[in-house]
Chain A
Amino acid sequence: DSGVTQTPKHLITATGQRVTLRCSPRSGDLSVYWYQQSLDQGLQFLIQYYNGEERAKGNILERFSAQQFPDLHSELNLSSLELGDSALYFCASSVGRNNNEQFFGPGTRLTVL
């Protein structure tokens, strides 16, 4: 158990819908990263937050957005969902300073029908 929690574990929804994925980092970790794992794109970095502020952006679609709240949990919002958004979405956390390891949560498996 990495100490990172993600909810829900599974999500099935229809095209055009909007969903919110939630992540709670390990206690004391200030940085949260979101990654998407799909069959065609592999594991890709989406976005990172540190102590509530966006710090790095990767291949994140405009239909996707994220935020990190004062209690350090983070949410990834996916809207106008398409079939191709079906993937495993991981949240990872790290201390955010002088520390290399990123600890991954169990992931949320999103299926868009």
Chain B
Amino acid sequence: AQKITQTQPGMFVQEKEAVTLDCTYDTSDPSYGLFWYKQPSSGEMIFLIYQGSYDQQNATEGRYSLNFQKARKSANLVISASQLGDSAMYFCAMREGRVLTGGGNKLTFGTGTQLKVEL
């Protein structure tokens, strides 16, 4: 079974609108972390936001917020007030297990959602 599922291969949004990118995950470990990364056409991976499984509140970072619904195992990324520069591929990723000093904290990535912001 896929550990991270991103069901939207591509999304379009109008500039200044909000957009939600979906991510569902599968793990039996009670301790895990969820990440969103942005990959522009230039190729680099840019960290956006993190949510820990024990965090009580949804994570926010500027225009990015993570809609964390633990019972549904979903961690959707919400981008408010979209900008042209938000056009990129977005990846959801998961770290299973608690953060281990020294190792084992690999990330498992979804297949990504290509977001295009239009005027």
Contacts and interface: CB of A to CB of B under 8 A. Distances in A.
Contact of A43 (B91, B99, B104): B91
B102 A45 contact: no
A100 B102 contact: no
Interface stretch (B8-16, B20-28, B74-82, B108-116): B108-116
A45 B108 contact: yes
Interface residues of B, number: 26
Given A88-B43, A102-B47, A104-B37, A31 B99 contact: no
A106 interface: yes
B103 A55 contact: yes
A100 B33 contact: yes
Given A42-B111, A104-B37, A96 B103 contact: yes
B93 to A, nearest CB: 8
Interface residues of A, number: 33
A58 B45 contact: no
Nearest to B101: A97
Contacts of A92: 45
Contacts, number: 80
B60 to A, nearest CB: 16
Interface string B80-119: 0000000000010101000101111111111110000000
A50 B102 contact: yes
A48 B99 contact: no
Given A43-B91, A90-B45, A102 B107 contact: yes
Interface of A: 2, 30-31, 33, 35, 42-45, 48, 50-51, 53, 55-56, 58, 88, 90, 92, 94, 96-107, 109
Given A96-B105, A107-B43, 17 more contacts: A31-B102, A42-B110, A44-B109, A45-B106, A48-B104, A55-B104, A56-B105, A96-B103, A97-B101, A101-B35, A101-B50, A102-B105, A102-B107, A104-B46, A104-B47, A107-B44, A109-B43
